[in-house]
Structure formats: structure tokens, C-alpha cells
């Protein structure tokens, strides 16, 4: 489990903090979602969780970050990367460019860890199978679609067998099919016991995989709870977070003077149509 306690962060050169005394638990085997308006601090929280801030991008961090009850605040990046890995928005920008095939790209992280060759091959094969990209093994990752590239990146992160996976809007650049494939892979990964922290603007996408949500606004976590608890809160919508389709329909019914309970009365599984004569 990854734990933040009273974490504040200020970017290098900034005059004020971007995050203010944030506390959050990211439990193992579960997907913790981050929602909130643009500029709320979701991506910053992801950079901190992945160890990139302040280790790589600089800035000032106050507070405590623990991994399974061990304080990792002082760990160097390469040590943390053996346990926590991060996926970013742009899939093409995350490719190593030193790999000519998808297989080599997936094996890039484990090779950096200095593992034995047979273990790297096993890890890369397993990760590709988990994500469902075995058929792409020999393809050039630079020539794949955005969705396929994001799956390759995800497989590469999974091959490192992290205890925590941090994903910052991994489906931002993807179409519906690519989004579904990535979300399925994330759900499968959390099933293996990995703690997943995922920030996402598209609420419906996040709600389909998240076990719990944290609402980030103005550099603070203003609400935490189950997906329903956070998204059904009127304050969430007021902050500009996109409501789920069903939630939007209830709001419109209410605005039109109709009872939203009508939706609950509607048959969930309509009877099949009679065949035409």
C-alpha cells in the first residue's frame, strides 16, 4: 500500500504550493481514482506518487510517503522505480526509442533492473499476454496506433512487477476501443495485487475500473469514498467534474420537474422483441 501523509509540494520556481497537506491511501489490489477539474493537482499527485517529483523535476516536497509502512521519501529514483512505476498521457512520448520491436520495448524496464535474461524474457512474455498484445511482439512500437502504444507502455510497466502503478490520464489520447483495452488491462493488473493510482478526466472511464475515488480540487483532497459516494455528491459536479451518463440523466429529469426515481422503475433487462411475422 502506498500512503501519503500531509504531503505538500511546490514546483521549482513557483511562489506557492501546488498541493496542500494531502493524505491518501492507495491500497494493494485496488484501483484508486483521482478526479477533479483541470489544474486541481491530480497530475502533480501522480508525479509525486511515481517518485518523479521532486527527484527528477525538482521542487520542494514536505510530508511523508510510505510504501508498505516503509518511509520511501528519501529513496533515490532508481530504487523507487523497482517498486513504483508511472504511465503518462502521451503514449508515443513514453517509448524508449531504443527498441525496434514491441517485445524489446516491454523488456526495456526489466533489462534496466539487471535481471537474468531468462527472467526478462519470461516477464515480458507474461506482461504481453496479460495485456493481450502477443500478436504485436515483432512490430515496431513507433508504428502502432495510440491505443496499441499505450498497451505496450502498460505491458512494459507491468513487466517490472511494481507494487504500485501510477497512471496519469492513460486514455486521454485514445479512441473508445483503445480506452476499453487499456481499462481492461488496468482492471486485470489490480486483480494481481498491484495497487493502482489513476488520474482521469473522463469520469465514466475511471468509474468503470476504480474501487474508490478521491476528489482533488485546489491542491487538496476534498472528498474520498466509493465511486458512487464521490460522484453522487453535488459538490463534485459543481467543481466541473463530468457526471456519469446516468447521473446526468437524473439531473435533467430533476431540472424538468420529473422524479429521478423513474429511472429505478424502468426495467433493467427489457424483454426481447417479438420476431416479425
- Per CB under 8 A, residues contacting another protein are 47, 50-52, 55-57, 77-78, 81-82, 85-86, 88, 90, 93-100, 104, 107-117, 120-121, 153, 156-157, 160
Which helix (H) or strand (E) segment holds residue 64: the answer is strand 60-67
Least Cα distance to 51 among 9, 12, 90, 93 occurs for: 9
164-168 and 195-199 beta bridge pairing: parallel
Provide the minimum distance between the beta carbon of 232 and another protein in the complex, in angstroms, as a whole number: 34
Of residues 97 and 176, the one with the C-beta less far from another protein: 97
- CA 54-9-239 angle, 5° bins: 130
Of residues 152 and 207, the one with the C-beta less far from another protein: 152
Contact 66/5 with Cβ under 8 angstroms? yes
Provide the minimum distance between the beta carbon of 258 and another protein in the complex, in angstroms, as a whole number: 45
Provide the minimum distance between the beta carbon of 143 and another protein in the complex, in angstroms, as a whole number: 12
Instruction: Indicate the SS3 state at residue 24.
Output: strand
Phi-psi region of 32 (alpha: psi -120 to 50; beta: other; left: phi over 0): beta
Using CB atoms within 10 A of its CB, is residue 67 exposed (0-12), middle (13-18) or buried (19+)?
buried
19-26 and 2-10 beta bridge pairing: antiparallel
Q: How far is CA 207 from the centre of its chain?
A: 11
Of residues 23 and 112, the one with the C-beta less far from another protein: 112
Of residues 100 and 175, the one with the C-beta less far from another protein: 100
Q: What are the CA-CA distances from residue 55 to residues 51, 186, 257 (Å)? A: 6, 26, 54
Provide the minimum distance between the beta carbon of 87 and another protein in the complex, in angstroms, as a whole number: 8
Q: How far apart are CA 56 and CA 69, in angstroms?
A: 24
Provide the minimum distance between the beta carbon of 94 and another protein in the complex, in angstroms, as a whole number: 4
Provide the minimum distance between the beta carbon of 242 and another protein in the complex, in angstroms, as a whole number: 25
Of residues 98 and 277, the one with the C-beta less far from another protein: 98
Of residues 52 and 189, the one with the C-beta less far from another protein: 52
Of residues 167 and 217, the one with the C-beta less far from another protein: 167
Q: How far apart are CA 93 and CA 188, in angstroms?
A: 24
Least Cα distance to 94 among 170, 12, 196, 162 occurs for: 170
Which helix (H) or strand (E) segment holds residue 53: the answer is helix 52-55
Amino acid at each position: 500500500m502506498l500512503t501519503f501523509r500531509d504531503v505538500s509540494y511546490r514546483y521549482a520556481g513557483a511562489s506557492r504550493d501546488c498541493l496542500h497537506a494531502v493524505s491518501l491511501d492507495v491500497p494493494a489490489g485496488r484501483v484508486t481514482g483521482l478526479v477533479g477539474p483541470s489544474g486541481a493537482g491530480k497530475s502533480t499527485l501522480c508525479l509525486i506518487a511515481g517518485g518523479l517529483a521532486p527527484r527528477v523535476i525538482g521542487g520542494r516536497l514536505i510530508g511523508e510517503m510510505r510504501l508498505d509502512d516503509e518511509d520511501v521519501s528519501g529513496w533515490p529514483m532508481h530504487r523507487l522505480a523497482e517498486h513504483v512505476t508511472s504511465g503518462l498521457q502521451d503514449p508515443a512520448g513514453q517509448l524508449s526509442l531504443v527498441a525496434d520491436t514491441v517485445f524489446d520495448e516491454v523488456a526495456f524496464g526489466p533489462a534496466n533492473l539487471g535481471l537474468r535474461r531468462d527472467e526478462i524474457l519470461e516477464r515480458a512474455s507474461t506482461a504481453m499476454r496479460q495485456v493481450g498484445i502477443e500478436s504485436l511482439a515483432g512490430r515496431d512500437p513507433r508504428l502502432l496506433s495510440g491505443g496499441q502504444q499505450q498497451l505496450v507502455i502498460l505491458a512494459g510497466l507491468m513487466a517490472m512487477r511494481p507494487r504500485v502503478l501510477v497512471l496519469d490520464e492513460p486514455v486521454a489520447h485514445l479512441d473508445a476501443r483503445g480506452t476499453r483495452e487499456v481499462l481492461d488491462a488496468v482492471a486485470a493488473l489490480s486483480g494481481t495485487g498491484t495497487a493502482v493510482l489513476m488520474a482521469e478526466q473522463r469520469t465514466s472511464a475511471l468509474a468503470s475500473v476504480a474501487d474508490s475515488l478521491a476528489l482533488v480540487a485546489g491542491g487538496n483532497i476534498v472528498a474520498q469514498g466509493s465511486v458512487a459516494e464521490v460522484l453522487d455528491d453535488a459538490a463534485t459536479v459543481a467543481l466541473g467534474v463530468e457526471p456519469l451518463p446516468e447521473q446526468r440523466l437524473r439531473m435533467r429529469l430533476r431540472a424538468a420537474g420529473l422524479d429521478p426515481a423513474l429511472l429505478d422503475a424502468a426495467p433493467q433487462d427489457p424483454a426481447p422483441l417479438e420476431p416479425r411475422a
